[in-house]
């Protein structure tokens, strides 16, 4: 297997764009440079490079729009302060504007924490239940719903690639792609084992149970990175897919399972009705996983993805979701706590993502 990056420059500049999000003059200079490239008569002769330039332009334009939005919000707050000095009752309006500004600034600050080479890419998420049968399988499906709801909140598109339903409830495994800028960078906070404590809905005695499920996230790579995979290194199986119904079910043996023999990495895809399309999609996922696999081998100085692939059991979790006897979600790494588990399970992961990214930055600076 051979991996090479055909064009790394656009990704190297992302941190510059994020870091200068409040520097409007520099952003306008960068936009002028991009516009100059786009005006070249031969611009569209290379589709790959032209698309990268257009994506860069979109990012710069979004940064300028954010800068203008911050300026407008600041002026509005100043105007409310002026009205307050004149004796007007504007407490509620002022508080609302300040809270709204704080939320916007926190989101922008979160983006400045995403300076990794692959942070801006789409994310491929895989969820597996731990030991414990139905309990863990149900918990794995709860996690899948949480991430799909989070993606919906963030305006990201999701594509379900593989869904293996369990016999009684929950899932045996699931893989889906989250499409959107910085999806991978944001979801790196979720890599690891997640622990649930609750009164079991499957236990007639209503006893408290502890369940575990693991989450793995890889960046979706594009054509700028070449992955050379030998056909002899692959074992490809087809099978009849099954699931919870609707989009999870195909009526033909079109589902594809691809095993990369040297690494043991296995991917499955059953979202498409065509076996050819499922194989094509499966190979794309495999390339992304192999790319992340190779990157992790080279990151001896940082925490490796393999560090999170502990036994899916006690003591290995990155986050605990306690629904009984008290109610609390706590991240073991960043120490962030939220006392409303329902809100978290409905997709509000912002405190945990932000806390993890801040922790990662501080660890890198030390």
- How far is the C-alpha of 76 from the C-alpha of 59, rounded, in Å? 26
What does the pLDDT read at residue 139?
Answer: 96
Confidence check: pLDDT of 314 > 70? no
Confidence check: pLDDT of 10 > 60? no
With cut-offs at 50, 70 and 90, classify the pLDDT of residue 248.
very low
Is the domain of 7 the same as that of 49? yes
b/e burial code for range 189-204 (CB count within 10 A of at least 16 → b): bbbbbbbbbbebeeee
Confidence check: pLDDT of 75 > 50? yes
Is the domain of 107 the same as that of 143? no
Domain of 132, CATH number, reads 3.30.70.1660
In a domain, 117, yes or no: no
β-strand pairing of 317-322 with 328-331 = antiparallel
β-strand pairing of 192-199 with 317-322 = parallel
SS3 234: strand
Non-local (6+) Cβ contacts of 95 within 8 A are none
Residue 103 has what DSSP assignment?
A: H
In a domain, 303, yes or no: yes
Is the domain of 260 the same as that of 134? yes
Final residue belonging to a domain, choices 48, 79, 112: 112
What does the pLDDT read at residue 17?
Answer: 35
Section 80-108 average pLDDT: 87
What does the pLDDT read at residue 205?
Answer: 83
Is the domain of 235 the same as that of 195? yes
| pTM across the whole model | 0.68
With CA atoms as reference, report the closest residue to 323 among 350, 344, 308, 306: 344
Section 106-121 average pLDDT: 81
Is the domain of 215 the same as that of 298? yes
Is the domain of 197 the same as that of 346? yes
With CA atoms as reference, report the closest residue to 330 among 188, 197, 207: 197
**pLDDT greater at residue 113 or residue 310:** 113
Confidence check: pLDDT of 69 > 50? yes
With cut-offs at 50, 70 and 90, classify the pLDDT of residue 309.
very low
In a domain, 134, yes or no: yes
Confidence check: pLDDT of 249 > 80? no
Chain position carrying tokens 């081998």: 297
Domain of 63, CATH number, reads 1.20.58.410
- Per the structure, the complete domain to which residue 275 belongs is given by 123-365
In a domain, 267, yes or no: yes
- How far is the C-alpha of 148 from the C-alpha of 151, rounded, in Å? 5
In a domain, 278, yes or no: yes
With cut-offs at 50, 70 and 90, classify the pLDDT of residue 287.
confident
Section 355-363 average pLDDT: 88
Is the domain of 127 the same as that of 156? yes
Task: Convert the pLDDT of each residue in 128-186 to its tens digit.
Answer: 999 778 899 999 999 999 999 999 999 999 999 889 888 889 999 999 999 988 999 99
Chain position carrying tokens 């334009």: 61
What does the pLDDT read at residue 137?
Answer: 95
Tokens representing residue 244 in the block: 């919870």
Confidence check: pLDDT of 337 > 50? yes
Give the range among 30-34, 225-229, 300-304 with minimum mean pLDDT: 300-304
What beta strand segments (E) does the chain contain?
Answer: 2-5, 123-129, 157-165, 171-179, 192-199, 208-219, 225-228, 234-239, 255-260, 265-269, 317-322, 328-331, 337-338
Using only C-alpha atoms, what is the Rg of the chain? 23
What does the pLDDT read at residue 7?
Answer: 41
- How far is the C-alpha of 194 from the C-alpha of 26, rounded, in Å? 42
Is the domain of 71 the same as that of 128? no
Percent of the chain with pLDDT over 90: 33
Is the domain of 139 the same as that of 85? no
What does the pLDDT read at residue 1?
Answer: 57
β-strand pairing of 192-199 with 225-228 = unpaired
Section 102-114 average pLDDT: 82
Is the domain of 197 the same as that of 131? yes
Confidence check: pLDDT of 217 > 60? yes
Final residue belonging to a domain, choices 82, 112, 142: 112
What does the pLDDT read at residue 246?
Answer: 44
In a domain, 64, yes or no: yes
What does the pLDDT read at residue 315?
Answer: 56
Percent of the chain with pLDDT over 70: 82
Confidence check: pLDDT of 297 > 80? no
SS3 269: strand
With cut-offs at 50, 70 and 90, classify the pLDDT of residue 271.
confident
Is the domain of 85 the same as that of 208? no
Mean residue pLDDT across the chain: 81
In a domain, 276, yes or no: yes
Final residue belonging to a domain, choices 55, 83, 112: 112
Strand partners, 213: 129, 194
Domain count for the chain, please give it: 2
Is the domain of 187 the same as that of 309? yes
Give the range among 52-66, 133-147, 317-331 with minimum mean pLDDT: 52-66
Section 38-46 average pLDDT: 84
In a domain, 16, yes or no: yes
Confidence check: pLDDT of 11 > 50? no
């Amino acid at each position: 297997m051979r991996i090479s990056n055909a064009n790394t420059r656009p990704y190297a500049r992302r941190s510059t764009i994020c870091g200068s999000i409040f520097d409007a003059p520099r952003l306008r200079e960068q936009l002028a440079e991009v516009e100059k490239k786009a005006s070249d008569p031969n611009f569209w002769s290379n589709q790959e490079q032209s698309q990268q330039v257009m994506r860069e332009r979109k990012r710069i334009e979004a940064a300028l729009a954010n800068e203008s939005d911050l300026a407008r919000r600041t002026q509005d707050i100043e105007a409310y302060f002026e009205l307050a000095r004149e004796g007007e009752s504007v407490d509620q309006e002022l508080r609302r504007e300040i809270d709204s500004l704080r939320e916007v600034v926190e989101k922008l600050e979160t983006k400045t924490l995403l300076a990794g080479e692959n942070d801006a890419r789409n994310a491929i998420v895989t969820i597996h239940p731990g030991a414990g049968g139905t309990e863990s399988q149900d918990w794995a499906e709860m996690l899948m719903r949480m991430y799909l709801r989070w993606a919906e909140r963030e305006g990201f598109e999701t594509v379900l690639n593989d869904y293996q339903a369990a016999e009684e409830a929950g899932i045996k495994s699931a893989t889906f792609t989250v499409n959107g800028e910085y999806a991978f960078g944001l979801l790196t906070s979720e890599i690891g084992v997640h622990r649930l404590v609750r009164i079991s809905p499957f236990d007639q005695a209503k006893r408290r149970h502890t369940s575990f499920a693991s989450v793995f996230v890889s960046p979706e790579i594009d054509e700028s990175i070449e992955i050379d995979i030998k056909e002899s290194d692959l074992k490809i199986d087809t099978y009849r897919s099954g699931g919870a119904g609707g989009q999870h079910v195909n009526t033909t043996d079109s589902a594809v399972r691809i095993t990369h023999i040297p690494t043991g990495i296995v991917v499955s895809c059953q979202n498409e009705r065509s076996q050819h399309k499922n194989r094509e999609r499966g190979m794309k996922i495999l390339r992304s996983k192999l790319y992340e696999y190779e990157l992790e081998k080279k990151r001896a100085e940082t925490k490796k993805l393999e560090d999170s692939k502990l036994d899916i059991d006690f003591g290995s979790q990155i986050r605990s979701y306690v629904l009984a006897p008290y109610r609390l979600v706590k991240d073991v790494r960043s120490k962030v706590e939220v006392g409303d588990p329902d809100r978290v399970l409905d997709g509000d992961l912002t405190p945990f993502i932000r806390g993890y990214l801040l922790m990662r930055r501080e660890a890198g600076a030390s």
